[in-house]
A = this chain, B = another copy of it.
């Protein structure tokens, strides 16, 4: 059996409650006693039992992190592990532990959230994704359980604290970059339309196109969740249009990259024949050829901010709903090019 507070108390010739006070660094304990107790702890190798703590106190010092049901992530894996690192980094600093649910299917996710909430497993929850409709969010809202969304809520925006980029603006910015380069026929390729991030990036693209009075074609907007078979066809169809795009705004680096390769197969090369942009600034985008012009969204920082917010929130339940916007930055590289003339 592990060494307990009682053992320490005995060794230091104080009562268990005194030891507890020392742990909490209570101010009414004399420095002398503190020293004595701390020495005893060291010598005995004392470590508090977290379960007992959470049971007696009411805080678990743990936060739950929910990754999306895997069906929807597609290729975004490295995004999630990077946010997770951000969360973990701040959590560690603040002495919090991380409980994670890796998703699985939707039902499994929901079960794990319930388990965390009802079981008093965690003090709060961070959702690493935001969907157009999500029972988990509804559940968290109605139970008034502290949680943070990484991404923008689809509904209840004013009631939910969330950390996000301004994806609409970011998408607008990068579309404008393409427009500035002289492109007029610009397409958009996004992932699942269930994800709010896709919706936002699409919207930013559309705003930019509209503002510039560029022609719009319904066929210019495609959603390819995976780049195999089905996705490939959809994308290739874009280029059998009468007026194929000369530039493409794509909502994810990995997708951009897949599309670049796909197009190469049919003799369209980037950036000579087409300009392509990405999102996320993954490590990948630094080693592709061409180097990808993309939007850096500070993934790690997104996680850090979310954790910070959540911890504040668990400390003060009355903390109002906040919105944290992590700035984005366009990274100009080689996958975009000025359009000289329309061939």
Asked whether A50 is an interface residue with its Cβ less than 8 Å from the other chain, the reply is yes
Q: For residue A47, which residue of chain B has the nearest CB?
A: B118
A265 nearest CB across to chain B (Å): 7
* B70 with A60: CB separation less than 8 A: no
**In the assembled complex, how far is the CB of residue A317 from the closest CB belonging to chain B, in whole angstroms?**
15
Which of A60, A92, A261 gathers the greatest number of chain B CB atoms within 10 Å?
A92
Oligomer copy total: 2
Q: Name the prevailing secondary structure of the A interface residues.
A: helix
- The interface residues of chain B lying within 8 Å CB-to-CB of A101 are 88, 92, 98
A255 to chain B, nearest CB (A): 9
A192 within 8 A of B: no
Kindly state whether residue A85 has any CB partner on chain B within 8 Å: yes
Binds B, one of A201-209, A286-294, A321-329: A286-294
Question: Could you tell me if B48 and A119 are in contact, using CB atoms closer than 8 angstroms?
Answer: yes
Q: Does A312 contact B (CB under 8 A)?
A: no
For chain A residues 253-281, which have a beta carbon within 8 Å of chain B?
254, 257-258, 261-262, 264-265
Chain A interface residues toward B at CB < 8 A: 2, 47-52, 54-55, 60, 62, 67, 70, 75, 77-78, 80-82, 84-85, 87-89, 92, 97-104, 108, 111-112, 114-116, 118-121, 227-228, 254, 257-258, 261-262, 264-265, 283-284, 286-289
